[in-house]
Structure 1
């Protein structure tokens, strides 16, 4: 059996630099699918692995292992696609849009978007499900009110990720805590010290900006036109929201996400047949093909023609290829080598915190998936925390902030592709408005360097509280 070695920094720079060059050329210059760029990049890393002495069979196994680690995300994505298709057909999402236009005042719309998406995400434990349901509705309402859509997307994502990193039902919360060897509830309590002030600051920012835009950009005629168009196209009544309430209650009760979302999709199809006069077979078909309607109104058609499992297939391929790429990088120890170069500087809570956030972001950036980040970061950084006797709660909190809160910032990551596709706004367009993410990162760094809410396993050292 051949001896293997870790890659040198030069080899890492060449391979990762080539990866970025391929992604840039494919997506920016030649307008080619990012899926092809990721697939080609597999073989860059495989060639490096062979050069380091690894067997091809082991490298291929690392690809399948990486993919298997994120299969749950793929299954959830498929279920969310089915849910969106039938909830549009069944009038669930259109009813949400209608009542939002009816009751949410434009000046507090951005704050309402933040709060509604936060509550939905905490209750359901899924940022993807939140964005695919409440998020779509808030984007439509925002467009009707004349709000800049990247700004609305920022409020949607801030709310969705707030709940995703606090809900005990969230897979990212469970992953960050379990891999850091911390109880889920203990992890959530540690997150609260950071998340609550970050949320309050973000709420103030969206409130201030909302008053600026909400008092001068509202086209009341467009709002009324949209409401009338929705009423003409769908049967709009409060009981249209029953499938959404049932799904939220089931998820809040801790029921498994996949069957719960599937039940929600089935209810959407039933609602389409019973209340929207759609043939039941056609209603079921929207779970796969998505909802398609020709109202003759371009704005309405753009708003409503989406969803379905088929609409998620591009994202599914990106996630599969990204997870495989991340599995290869983990097998070769790429991030471990990068961290080892700075290991001697990790002598304080501040430096360790900053390094954890950087490692988590790099895992999203090069691993192309939040799962890769949340799996790799605790593994790579745990020794640094133990050496300084910093409690693992701090590790799980920092891994969550760095992994979950930056996952939607990378255009070719699973979250970046999904969020941009669902919200209809490019990743780079909504990125500047992911205010909760930026504030959370800033507070995490502040805590690290000031010692605030940094807990130690050594009883002689106490946290500054």
Structure 2
């Protein structure tokens, strides 16, 4: 069944069901993504009569049991645990108030963007950042002559910065694990691509708000509560083992929370569990998608996609642009950048191997294009949440989302002016178990 478009039927079924339900109900979260993926997986099992049901089970089990998928799921759960415990310990509120206390009033909107960058890169979640900062953005708007859409736009921009870069972001984890590269290699590659976009965003926010004057009341903060964030951020940047960094953050957050009376020792485990629950869905989705991709690959669907891209593009630049467009379109259909990366990641890996594109470049391109899409679609969770908190339309926020647009410009320039010496020889198409296991070792 190689090179037959029929092999891609499970993916088309998912898009029709998920996107169709969103269009009909005008709510892209009315249909749980994992339900749509389960239906798509069922369709995959009905294909290829040459294989028995048990043979297909063996194929999907091998796909779901891939070391990258299992590692990714475990990191999701531990990252969720850290996010839950550090928030309950007061880390988010103290971090926000600390940032506000050191920012001059004339730079307040710029400050909202910068604080959003710091919190999102520390927490690894754009949704958590928006939830924490959107009420503050509303307060800044109420105390000043700033339109609330500008203030919230700065928050969303900052949230997407860290969502694309953080070592504990589910998008970063998915991009790195699907490509089999090192976390800090992807971070360095990614950071220098988006840094110009962040700098220009700061300039734009400053120029558009500098003529307005205002005062802002800042709440209390406890620097002790900010320490877990700093430890995780610094440890990740240095290149320590991601599990060691996250567990250190969890333990420190437990100590902080128990010390300041936020929760007792026994209650802390319940808080950790609640944090992990927040990432259960994406963990299950990752496993189901791995099963679907395994069947599609077995039936020749992946080979078909690679052949189409090979005929449509020329050289490494074309391959990189093709990967970016692929994940961007998937994000438009799924309204979830992590899901988009999980779906497009295996295909991008094969394309990268075929054209000799370094895994860290593929991971960066995947993450950036997915974040661009997620930061601009008005039906995505980020804009819907921000708009709901401040009670405005998501469309009102769109004109002020400078960072996702500039991020797209940056990555297109990155592709257009790529160094020709990069990764001349194609990388292996398979990640050996020993090599994959080495990814969990401390990075020197």
TM norm. shorter chain > 0.5: yes
Report SS of the residue matched to 1:288: helix
Structure-2 residue corresponding to 1:279: 264
| Alignment equivalent of 2:161, drawn from 159, 162, 179 | 159
Q: How far 1:42 sits from its partner (Å)? A: 0.8
Structure-2 residue corresponding to 1:67: 64
Corresponding position: 1:19 with 2:14: yes
Is residue 7–residue 301 contact of structure 2 (8 Å, CA) maintained in 1? yes
Per-residue CA deviation, residues 297-356 of structure 1 (Å, 9 max, x unaligned), is xxxxxxxxxxx2233333333333333333333333424313423533433555334223
Corresponding position: 1:79 with 2:46: no
**Alpha-carbon RMSD:** 4.3
Corresponding position: 1:453 with 2:418: yes
Corresponding position: 1:370 with 2:337: no
Per-residue CA deviation, residues 228-258 of structure 1 (Å, 9 max, x unaligned), is xxx5xxxx42222222233333333332222
| Alignment equivalent of 1:380, drawn from 351, 357, 365 | 351
Alignment partners' CA distance in 1, 2:97 and 2:192 = 37
Report SS of the residue matched to 2:240: coil
Structure-1 residue corresponding to 2:287: 320
Report SS of the residue matched to 2:314: coil
Structure-1 residue corresponding to 2:428: none
Q: How far 1:6 sits from its partner (Å)? A: 1.7
1:343-422 pair list within 5 angstroms: 343-348=310-315, 350-361=317-328, 368-383=339-354, 385=355, 392-393=357-358, 396-397=360-361, 399-408=362-371
Corresponding position: 1:8 with 2:10: no
Change (3 A) 1:77 1:15: closer
Is residue 39–residue 321 contact of structure 1 (8 Å, CA) maintained in 2? yes
Structure-1 residue corresponding to 2:299: 332
Per-residue CA deviation, residues 198-229 of structure 1 (Å, 9 max, x unaligned), is 443344344445658xx48x7x6xx64x83xx
Q: How far 1:285 sits from its partner (Å)? A: 2.3
Instruction: Count residues with an aligned counterpart.
Output: 395
In the superposition, the TM-score normalised over structure 2's length comes to: 0.70
The higher relative CO (CA closer than 8 Å, separation ≥ 6) is in: 2
Report SS of the residue matched to 1:368: helix
Q: How far 1:404 sits from its partner (Å)? A: 0.8
In the superposition, the TM-score normalised over structure 1's length comes to: 0.67
Alignment partners' CA distance in 1, 2:261 and 2:423 = 63
Alignment partners' CA distance in 1, 2:125 and 2:232 = 11
Structure-1 residue corresponding to 2:136: 141
Is residue 22–residue 37 contact of structure 1 (8 Å, CA) maintained in 2? yes
1:40-439 pair list within 5 angstroms: 40-48=39-47, 50-51=48-49, 53-68=50-65, 69-105=68-104, 108-116=107-115, 118=117, 129=124, 131=126, 137-146=132-141, 147-148=148-149, 151-161=153-163, 163-164=165-166, 171=173, 175=177, 178=180, 194-208=193-207, 211=210, 215=212, 224=217, 227=219, 236-276=221-261, 278-289=263-274, 308-348=275-315, 350-361=317-328, 368-383=339-354, 385=355, 392-393=357-358, 396-397=360-361, 399-408=362-371, 435-439=402-406
Report SS of the residue matched to 1:255: coil
Change (3 A) 1:285 1:21: same
Is residue 322–residue 369 contact of structure 1 (8 Å, CA) maintained in 2? no
Alignment partners' CA distance in 1, 2:81 and 2:406 = 34
Q: How far 1:455 sits from its partner (Å)? A: 0.8
Per-residue CA deviation, residues 79-111 of structure 1 (Å, 9 max, x unaligned), is 233223322332222212333343435653454
Change (3 A) 1:360 1:36: closer
Alignment partners' CA distance in 2, 1:101 and 1:190 = 30
Corresponding position: 1:36 with 2:35: yes
Q: How far 1:176 sits from its partner (Å)? A: 7.5
Q: How far 1:36 sits from its partner (Å)? A: 1.3
Q: Which runs of no fewer than 5 residues in structure 2 stay unpaired?
A: 142-147, 425-444
Structure-1 residue corresponding to 2:427: none
Alignment partners' CA distance in 1, 2:385 and 2:61 = 27
